[in-house]
Amino acid sequence: MVASIGLLYGYIFKIETQEYLPYLAAGFFAWGLISILIGEGCQTFINAEGLIKQLNVPLSIHAYRILWSNLLTAAHTI
């Protein structure tokens, strides 16, 4: 996806693809991470309802669990 969009936009805007592709890839990666963190962050306590009712742990544990999961996925994506 990055290669096709990079080549297309590089041609349209007359930009060197060697200079443009790293910025485009980094932007897609950063936006994807932010988007998934916001999306799953909104559902954190709803999805962890059963654990919240059963376990006596701080609520921040559930937020850290989602954050860690997404950071591992991002590391794999890199």
HEC string of 26-70?
HHHHHHHHHHHHHHHHHCHHHHCHHHHHHCCCCCHHHHHHHHHHH
Q: Which pLDDT score, from 0 to 100, does residue 32 have?
A: 92
Quick one: pLDDT band at residue 72, thresholds 50, 70, 90? very high
Q: What are the residue boundaries of the structural domains of the chain, listed by start?
A: 2-77
Are 23 and 72 in contact by the 8 Å Cβ rule? The answer is no
Tokens of 23: 């910025």
Q: How far apart are CA 27 and CA 14, in angstroms?
A: 19
Cβ atoms < 10 Å from Cβ of 10: 17
- 4-59: per-residue pLDDT in tens? 998 898 889 888 888 889 999 999 999 999 999 999 999 999 999 999 999 999 99
Q: How far apart are CA 26 and CA 28, in angstroms?
A: 5
Query: pTM of the entire structure?
Result: 0.76
